[in-house]
Structure 1
Amino acid sequence: MARIVVIGAGMGAMAAAARLAVAGHRVVVHERSGTYGGALGSVERDGFAFDTGPGLLHLPAVYRDLFVKTGKEPLEKCVELSQVEPAVRHVFADGTAADLPNASRAGVGEALDAALGSGAGAAWSAYMNRAREAWDRTRRPLLEEPLWPNWQVLADREPYPSVPHKRLLRRERRASTLTEVGELELGGDARLLALLEQYALACGLDPRATPASAAVLPYLEHTFGAWSVRGGMRALATAVYERCLARRVEFAFDSPVARIIEKDGRAAGVELADGTAEEADFVVAGVAPGALDGLLSGVSGMSGASGVNIRAEGEVQARSGLPSRLMVLLALRGARPEGTPHRTVLHTPDRRDELDRLFGDRPGLPIAPTLTVLRPDDPTRTPDAGHEAVTLTATVPAHTEVTEADVERLLDRADAVLPGLRERLLWHEVRTPADIAQATGADGGAVPPPSLAAGDGRLLHPANSTRLPGLFAAGGWAHPGGGLPHAGMSGTLVAGLIVEGPDFRGSQ
């Protein structure tokens, strides 16, 4: 039995802790804050409750597997999951609305034909068929296996089978970015292009620079669906935490780690902020890259982001310059109208301005940002049936200092899909990039995207095994990247590498 110290109580770290405890190891989690869940926080006030992280769960199979492998009670015995229907309503810049059904690629095509006109569904369905090929080619190496030592194979090869286009006397042209895919392969409909680009934007990625392999993002949602959790995503974090306790994982809250101890060339424990040293056979770091750099500052050869680089030819660097999120939590009087979608995406009328401000040389809050509106049909989120809890989310640059005028602009935008918002509003609270930074430790409140193939490896995340033997990285800033399911996968991979050793070839 090995003694293992886990730094941080985020979802990836807790997933690793539960699996390691089941394997017979003694696991202690040190969390700098007073609670668990990392990005899966919540706000409760006057009988209202809001998630301050992801509002929906994709790929629930990741957490079903975690619960099956760590105990007798399956996930559905611990939390109540429901497929949301429709999966999402898209309101485009011209006012057109399309309700896309959950987990039905054929149904999505039919819905797009009905909303956007004949041919839109066929163009999108053909794109989804090609996206399936990209998914089949990348699913295992990107999600179910540790990052290969020859990770350049993933970086250099584009798995999306772009359609060749000939232009008069010019040579054949193939799409290499998500925006080019939309322009060349979706029939010239600006609304379909906006639909496609939004999947990258929701992950904090610039579709103009994101490789075509990002086709897997809409494919995942259309194929595996979007799920809500009764009580919000915080209920899922609580279920994972309680599973850890049931497996005798120890938690020390308000217990910041000051540094990782090295002995004989490997991680040998941690030193806490109060000066206490805790020995360990392995250390699992579920923290953001800058925080890990600080913990390794006294370890020879571990300065800078190299602390989380892979031990192989070449290196995958920890990423920076990613955007954050701005959330406005709305407590409304009046019942949620019958038939209201759980999620509505209100598209910007000026995508160029939005992308330039998020990723270009004009940083700042977009004039009219794409807005995601969550209106859960969950009685546990409101004081009674005569009220509604609504969350507005926009992608914004990290380090953004949000003003009241910015919030007012979001409220004005939301009025397009929440008629009478001002009259219904009891109060609102704001969650800024600074709040995300405080909760997760990420620089400027940056949010990590999922790993993607191609693009010269720019969207691959550092491996779970590090250059310091005995130290492993879990969570959204390590392979396979950000997002709730990906965090759970990272925990699976870390546990496999510790239990089975460096020859571990991935989950089965």
Structure 2
Amino acid sequence: MARIAVIGAGMGAMAAAARLAVAGHRVTVYERSGTYGGSLGRHAAEGFTFDTGPGLLPLPAVYRDLFVKTGKEPLERCVTLAQVDPASRHVFADGTAVSLPNASRAGTVAALDAALGGGAGAKWGAFLDRAGDAWDRSRRPLLEEPLRPDRQVLARDPYPAEERRRLLRPARRAGTVAEIGAWELADARLAALLDGYALGYGLDPLRAPASAALLPYMEETFGSWYVVGGMRELARAVYERCLARKVEFVLGAEVARVVEKDGRAAGVELADGTVAEAAHVVLGARPRPDLVPGQELWGEGGVTVRPGGSGSGRFVVLLALRGARPAGTVHRTVVHPADGAAEREAVFGGRTAAHPTVTVLRPDDPSTRPDEAHEAVTLTATVAPHGPVDWTDESLRARYADTLIDAADAAVPGLRERVLHSWVRTPAETAADTGAEGGAVPPPALAGAGGGFLHAANRTRLPGLLLAGGWSHPGGGLAHAGMSGALVAGTVVEGDGFRGSR
């Protein structure tokens, strides 16, 4: 079988590598850093351990399928998955709070009605019904099939927005996340809840198409899961599955360019000048023009597709706390600000938000802390990337960490007094670790908006060069990255006849 070179050891790239190796190919992964896992990093200090990337796993079926297709041991034998219940607690600016159960539509509706009143649960339930229709319409072409050259099926928004009648004006339908919140949910707290899902994926609610309704639908339908020991354990399990399938890893090896011969990809050249020949090259990092100079590669069928929006990053505060984690503590709490519009304008305008949406993670996992008299807590906010904001400025980093801690006090009363140690990670660290420009985090692909929120197709204009991971179809997020790996492997193994996973 063929020799295949994979650039990068992120989750999408490793998912592709494992599947290709099982198909009989000889696969070598070249990773610029000294480790695997991409955004699934880990910070360990003073007896505490933290995830530095995603803290929860949506759609675990994607990785269950990977493990079924690549070996005898299922995912649950390689990692321990724990369903997070409640899935999340939300604290709103007016002081109201609600805990939403994991994967229970009826439970969510009841919880919202009890906490917010005014038929809030019914409004949210009706919204999820419409989101479910959008899921049924777009799931296969958006997530399970290679990106079609014409893309017309994904240019139209699949979300069946309600018609909004206006006096002496034509009726309108919500076309963005923000409009769904204002016109269909009609409750500032429900609107903040929906905005929070978009922001969490790095999307601007004012611009993201209504089809972003799929994001809360997927979480509330399929649930949220925690990998015991931290999400880094999932990266370890996929890495070890690759090794078991004889995938070779070359760490600390930066690829300078893709070698082209006779009009197709023929291998990679490393920064030290070493050339490794290959019949196929899989790029598991953000596409950049200098990899194949002089060619525009990142679209099929004469159409170039770029991720929508200017990009955003993550500001993370890792807190080692004195005192035990109280019994009954919710794993994930989201603290919503009073002025979501101001936050959006700041983040997507290249500034820092005075009052950001803050996600607080408090895992009930003994491996994250030195003993039961301490607790490990992670605070995260979506922020502008490095560049528009200088995230290497130590005074700014300290001030913004204080901003997140102040906001998180609504979720962890007396938080500041409990802090024993703290560490800060910004888009500047993300850029250094992953090579992503500005430390930007790729959003998931979305249908609608004329295709403006799609990503580059997995197949490029250069035969033999394919794209995997969050910067390619179907976009960012752990589940989406795993899907991209399956699409790339299917394309290589089945060729032009491949029509998607089954």
TM-score past 0.5 threshold:
yes
1:170 matches 2:169: yes
- The one-letter amino acid of 2:328's match is G
Distance apart, 1:48 and its partner CA: 0.5
SS in 2 for 1:68: helix
Unaligned runs of 5+ in 2: none
1:317 matches 2:306: yes
Q: State the superposition RMSD in angstroms.
A: 1.1
**Does the CA-based 8 Å contact 2:306-2:453 persist in structure 1?**
no
Partner of 1:184: 183
Distance apart, 1:422 and its partner CA: 2.0
Distance apart, 1:153 and its partner CA: 2.8
Distance apart, 1:424 and its partner CA: 1.1
Distance apart, 1:421 and its partner CA: 1.5
Partner of 1:130: 130
Partner of 2:37: 37
1:388 matches 2:375: yes
**Does the CA-based 8 Å contact 1:52-1:327 persist in structure 2?**
yes
1:342 matches 2:336: no
SS in 1 for 2:72: coil
CA distance in 1, matches of 2:85, 2:71: 31
CA distance in 2, matches of 1:317, 1:325: 21
Q: Which moved more, 1:165-174 or 1:34-43?
A: 165-174
Partner of 2:433: 439
SS in 1 for 2:127: helix
The alignment's TM-score, normalised by the length of structure 1, stands at 0.96
- The one-letter amino acid of 1:72's match is K
CA distance in 2, matches of 1:474, 1:203: 18
Partner of 2:209: 211
Distance apart, 1:152 and its partner CA: 2.9
CA distance in 1, matches of 2:9, 2:162: 44
- The one-letter amino acid of 1:338's match is A
| Mapping for residues 277-288 of structure 1, pairs under 5 Å | 277-288=275-286
| Mapping for residues 45-444 of structure 1, pairs under 5 Å | 45-155=45-155, 157-186=156-185, 188-290=186-288, 293-297=289-293, 301-302=294-295, 306-310=296-300, 312-317=301-306, 321-360=310-349, 363-399=350-386, 400-402=389-391, 403=396, 404-444=398-438
**Does the CA-based 8 Å contact 1:345-1:373 persist in structure 2?**
yes
- The one-letter amino acid of 2:491's match is L
CA distance in 1, matches of 2:304, 2:324: 53
Partner of 2:496: 502
CA distance in 1, matches of 2:407, 2:208: 27
**Does the CA-based 8 Å contact 1:309-1:318 persist in structure 2?**
no
CA distance in 2, matches of 1:216, 1:273: 41
Deviations 1:285-329 (A, max 9, x none): 001123xx22222xxx41xxx33222x142213556201000000
**Does the CA-based 8 Å contact 2:201-2:443 persist in structure 1?**
yes
Distance apart, 1:189 and its partner CA: 1.1
- The one-letter amino acid of 1:141's match is P
**Does the CA-based 8 Å contact 1:433-1:446 persist in structure 2?**
yes
**Does the CA-based 8 Å contact 1:308-1:318 persist in structure 2?**
no
Deviations 1:199-242 (A, max 9, x none): 11111111111111111111001100000000110000000000
SS in 2 for 1:191: helix
**Does the CA-based 8 Å contact 1:62-1:488 persist in structure 2?**
yes
- The one-letter amino acid of 1:234's match is R
Unaligned runs of 5+ in 1: none
Deviations 1:19-72 (A, max 9, x none): 000000000001011100000000001110000000000000000000000000
CA distance in 1, matches of 2:102, 2:72: 29
SS in 1 for 2:169: coil
CA distance in 2, matches of 1:86, 1:439: 33
CA distance in 2, matches of 1:319, 1:167: 30
CA distance in 2, matches of 1:424, 1:54: 24
The alignment's TM-score, normalised by the length of structure 2, stands at 0.97
**Does the CA-based 8 Å contact 1:289-1:318 persist in structure 2?**
no
Q: Which moved more, 1:202-211 or 1:32-41?
A: 202-211
CA distance in 2, matches of 1:416, 1:176: 33
CA distance in 2, matches of 1:409, 1:173: 39
SS in 1 for 2:371: coil
- The one-letter amino acid of 1:108's match is T
Distance apart, 1:103 and its partner CA: 0.6
CA distance in 2, matches of 1:196, 1:52: 24
Q: Which runs of 4+ in 1 moved over 2 A?
A: 317-320
Deviations 1:472-499 (A, max 9, x none): 0000000000000000000000000000
1:11 matches 2:11: yes
Deviations 1:239-285 (A, max 9, x none): 00000000000001011111110000000001111111110000000
Q: Percent identity?
A: 65
SS in 1 for 2:497: coil
SS in 2 for 1:315: coil
Distance apart, 1:112 and its partner CA: 0.2
CA distance in 1, matches of 2:259, 2:196: 43
CA distance in 1, matches of 2:309, 2:118: 42
**Does the CA-based 8 Å contact 2:362-2:378 persist in structure 1?**
yes
CA distance in 2, matches of 1:245, 1:56: 25
Distance apart, 1:198 and its partner CA: 1.0
1:487 matches 2:492: no
**Does the CA-based 8 Å contact 2:91-2:410 persist in structure 1?**
no
CA distance in 2, matches of 1:471, 1:131: 35
CA distance in 1, matches of 2:261, 2:309: 30
SS in 1 for 2:173: coil
